Every structure is written in C-alpha cells, then in structure tokens.
C-alpha cells in the first residue's frame, strides 16, 4: 500500500528529527527554549501520525 509507505517514511523522518534535536540540545544549550518548542511540535505530529497509521492499518515498519 502506497499510503503505508508514505506514513512510514514520515514516521522515520520524525525519528530522525528528534535524534537531531537531541544532538542540538546537547551541543547548543543556548537554543534550548526554541528547540523545546520544536520538539513538542514534532512529538505532537508523531502522535497524530501514529494514530492515523492505526486507523488505516499501516503498522510501523510495514510498507507493502
């Protein structure tokens, strides 16, 4: 299903973004307030994405 592939790609992108934010938070503590806002936005988006994936039956890791 093409939708499952798209949603899984989006999920992977959010994972990468959160990992990058973790690195940035460690290396640039002066940016912490801005990064915290961005982290919340990405985490909120990820929760919505996971809920959508559940509704359409696109389990994480399935892209067939």
Q: What is the pLDDT of residues 7-32, one digit of tens each?
A: 999 999 999 999 999 999 999 999 99
Residue written as token pair 């592939």: 5
**Statement: residue 50 has pLDDT above 90:** yes
User: Which of 17-31, 32-46, 49-63 is the least confident region?
Assistant: 49-63
What residues does each domain of the chain span?
A: 2-56
User: What dihedral do alpha carbons 6, 46, 40, 30 form, nearest 10°?
Assistant: -50
**Mean pLDDT for the chain?**
92
Which residues fall within 8 angstroms of residue 43, CB to CB, at 6 or more apart?
Answer: 18
What is the reported pTM? 0.82
Calpha distance 18→63 (Å, rounded): 22
**Statement: residue 61 has pLDDT above 70:** yes
């Amino acid at each position: 299903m093409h939708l499952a592939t798209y949603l899984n790609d989006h999920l992977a992108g959010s994972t990468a973004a959160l990992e990058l934010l973790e690195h940035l938070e460690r290396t640039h503590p002066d940016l912490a307030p801005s990064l915290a806002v961005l982290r919340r936005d990405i985490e909120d988006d990820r929760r919505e994405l996971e809920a959508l994936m559940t509704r359409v039956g696109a389990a994480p890791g399935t892209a067939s």
